[in-house]
């Protein structure tokens, strides 16, 4: 499924089997989750994709062929491919453990072709083994929704009371992870979204309400997954002194002005950018031990546009996953 330009539905194209370079593996795609970032790319809110582009960066598949320099995987291995597809390894960010900020980084399904296809190639150094306890469809959302949620939770430090804004693919995973760590989770949805509130409760949230409501207790941290800038000042008013608001999306509408008093008393606003390979390795091990449940709706690859429409309209509970037969 190919993107030719912003705002244009994806187009079914004749399948081509790419040839792996020395550091790449050729992967037979089994499942690829649909991320809100894919929607930002298709809708033109992220403005620098390679075109034409095969989107998709939550890929689970089987290695078919390996390049001459590959030593981590062999044909038949199941692997996951995340958003971060390549980094330079020599810049200041890469040399100081911050490869997620590499100026030359390449991203799966954005500047590299991704997983809305029968076959894809990926640099073996940026792929992860998948815990055996997950099926292909169950595992696919872990590759971005899970990873970004995990990194956002890490940015919350040792916060005990955590608010999650935007209860979709990422929040339903990180909610379970936070609860397993003994934290208390408060779920925030669109005002009046009673189905979303019920979903948050089903995933382990102690309380759920609209984003315009006050939780029963002040928050130590708020993680914002909805791409809505006006939630930032709202969340700041909900966090206690010294609390942190983490903006976990790659795109967000403009943040409106707010009084300094809402930020004062050492409150913090910060963003999350991409992920590191260590994030991926640590999270996959944690997911294997914790057995996080992913709620998915499966679509055939040819229905990628319908999956994107359902995500855009908020009709999904959990994550959409394209299944490649």
Q: DSSP of 265-314, one letter per residue?
A: TT-EEEE--S--HHHHHHHHHHHHHHT----EEEEEGGGHHHHHHHHHHT
The percentage of the chain sitting over the pLDDT mark of 70, rounded to a whole number, equals 100
State the pLDDT at residue 291: 81
- Please say whether the beta carbons of 215 and 238 come within 8 A: yes
| Architecture of the 147-271 domain | 3-Layer(aba) Sandwich (3.40)
How confident is the model over 52-64, as a mean pLDDT? 98
Length of the chain measured in residues: 325
Confidence of residue 308 (pLDDT cuts 50, 70, 90): very high
Does pLDDT of 36 surpass 90? yes
Does pLDDT of 191 surpass 80? yes
Handedness of CA 214, 215, 216, 217 (dihedral sign): negative
Confidence of residue 266 (pLDDT cuts 50, 70, 90): very high
Per-residue DSSP letter, 3: B
Per-residue DSSP letter, 114: -
Residues 6 or more apart in contact with residue 145 via CB below 8 angstroms:
33, 35, 58, 168, 169, 170, 173, 319
Q: CA Rg, the chain, in Å?
A: 19
> Within 193-257, where are the H helices?
194-202, 231-238
* pLDDT tens, position by position, 237-259: 999 999 999 999 999 999 999 99
| 24-143+295-323 under CATH 3.90.850.10, yes or no | no
In degrees rounded to 5, what are phi and psi of residue 41? -70, -50
Does pLDDT of 325 surpass 90? no
pTM of this structure: 0.94
| Cis bond before residue 52 (omega within 30° of 0) | yes
State the pLDDT at residue 14: 87
State the pLDDT at residue 111: 98
- Please say whether the beta carbons of 183 and 160 come within 8 A: yes
| Domain(s) of CATH 3.90.180.10: residues in the chain | 24-143+295-323
State the pLDDT at residue 78: 98
Tokens of 6: 């912003």
| Domain(s) of CATH 3.40.50.720: residues in the chain | 147-271
How confident is the model over 164-183, as a mean pLDDT? 95
* pLDDT tens, position by position, 126-164: 999 999 999 999 999 999 999 999 999 999 999 999 999
Residues 6 or more apart in contact with residue 184 via CB below 8 angstroms:
160, 161, 162, 206, 217
Confidence of residue 16 (pLDDT cuts 50, 70, 90): confident
State the pLDDT at residue 15: 76
């Amino acid at each position: 499924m190919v993107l030719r330009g912003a705002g244009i539905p994806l187009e079914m194209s004749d399948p081509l089997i790419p040839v792996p370079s020395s550091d790449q593996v050729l992967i037979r795609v089994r499942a690829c989750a649909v991320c809100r970032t894919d929607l930002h790319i298709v809708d033109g809110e992220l403005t620098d994709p390679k075109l034409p582009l095969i989107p998709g960066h939550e890929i689970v598949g089987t290695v078919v062929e390996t390049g001459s320099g590959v030593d981590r995987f062999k044909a038949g291995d199941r692997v996951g491919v995340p958003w971060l597809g390549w980094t330079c390894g020599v810049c200041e960010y890469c040399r100081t453990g911050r490869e997620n900020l590499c100026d030359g980084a390449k991203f799966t399904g954005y500047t590299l072709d991704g997983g809305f296809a029968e076959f894809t190639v990926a640099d073996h150094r940026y792929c992860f083994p998948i815990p055996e306890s997950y099926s292909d469809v169950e595992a696919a959302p872990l590759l971005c929704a899970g990873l970004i949620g995990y990194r956002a939770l890490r940015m919350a430090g040792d916060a005990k009371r955590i608010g999650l804004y935007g209860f979709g693919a990422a929040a339903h995973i990180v909610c379970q992870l936070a609860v397993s760590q003994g934290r208390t989770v408060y779920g925030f949805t669109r005002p009046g979204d009673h189905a979303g509130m019920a979903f948050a409760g089903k995933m382990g949230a102690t309380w759920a309400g609209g984003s315009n409501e006050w939780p029963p207790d002040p928050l130590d941290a708020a993680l914002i997954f909805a791409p809505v800038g006006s939630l930032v000042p709202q969340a700041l008013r909900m966090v206690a002194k010294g609390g942190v608001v983490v903006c976990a999306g790659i795109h967000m509408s403009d943040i409106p002005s707010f009084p300094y008093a809402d930020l004062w008393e050492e409150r913090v606003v910060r963003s999350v950018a991409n992920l590191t390979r260590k994030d991926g390795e640590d999270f996959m091990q944690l997911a294997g031990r914790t057995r996080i449940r992913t709620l998915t709706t499966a679509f055939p690859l040819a229905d990628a546009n319908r999956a994107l429409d359902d995500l855009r309209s908020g009709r999904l509970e959990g994550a959409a996953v394209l299944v490649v037969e």
